[in-house]
Amino acid sequence: MFRLNNTSMFRSFFRAPLSTATEAIKSVEAAAVELDKLYKTVQIELRGNDPAVLTSFVKFATTAGNYLNVQSHSWHLRKPTHTRFTVLKSVHIYKKHRVQYEFRTYYSFISYKHLTESTASTLLEYIERNLPEGVALKATSVELQQLPEYLLEQDPEQFTDDSNKVSHV
């Protein structure tokens, strides 16, 4: 497991308890106004020793994405990474006779497109909880953000829709 999401836990742990009921209601209202983040892509990298386990899990994860109406597609690295180390076959002498051990790491990738925050957290939670043993998962998400105000003030024309201009060329 590479993905760590401890911030929310710490936040709730260190926050002082709410003193009155009105404060509690206010905080709930503030939370309701908070908008969902938008994710352009959520990419998941899987590593494992067994290619069969990986392909099976990729099938599961893409199917789960399809049921939530998320565009998902997957690919594999063609070749695994081999980590080898060579030792003497005998304990002491006979240098010509070696034995070679090897760790293989197979890579698989899944990419989900255009998600909201709630969908992404639900999907990731579901996938992570069903992660089989011996498979490592790394989730990378790309968030969409609004253009900063100061850029728009400088030169608004630069950021307007170019689709009409292109037709003249």
Partner 1 sequence: MANPPHMIAHRKSWNSWNTSNLDGGLRPSETAIEDVFIRKFMIGTWHALFVSEIIVKRQHNIIRIGGIIRRSISARKMYFLIGYTEELLSFWLQCPVKLELQTVQDKRDVIFKYI
Q: With respect to partner 1, which residue has the nearer C-beta, 27 or 56? A: 56
Q: Rounded distance, CA 56 to CA 12, Å?
A: 37
Mind giving me the DSSP string for 45-98? EEEES-HHHHHHHHHHHHHHHHHTT-EEEEEE-SS-EEEEEEEESSSSS-TT-E
Q: With respect to partner 1, which residue has the nearer C-beta, 26 or 138? A: 138
Q: How far is CA 52 from CA 12, 60, 74, 80, 83, in A?
A: 40, 12, 15, 13, 19
Q: With respect to partner 1, which residue has the nearer C-beta, 7 or 164? A: 7
Q: With respect to partner 1, which residue has the nearer C-beta, 42 or 46? A: 46
Give residues in contact with partner 1 (CB under 8 A).
Answer: 1-2, 47-50, 81, 83, 103-105, 131-136
Q: What share of the chain is helix, strand, coil (3-state, %, to 5)?
A: 40, 30, 30
Q: With respect to partner 1, which residue has the nearer C-beta, 118 or 134? A: 134
* Distance in Å, CB of 89 to partner 1, minimum: 13
* Distance in Å, CB of 103 to partner 1, minimum: 5
* Distance in Å, CB of 14 to partner 1, minimum: 22
* Distance in Å, CB of 168 to partner 1, minimum: 51
Q: Rounded distance, CA 19 to CA 82, Å?
A: 58
* Distance in Å, CB of 104 to partner 1, minimum: 8
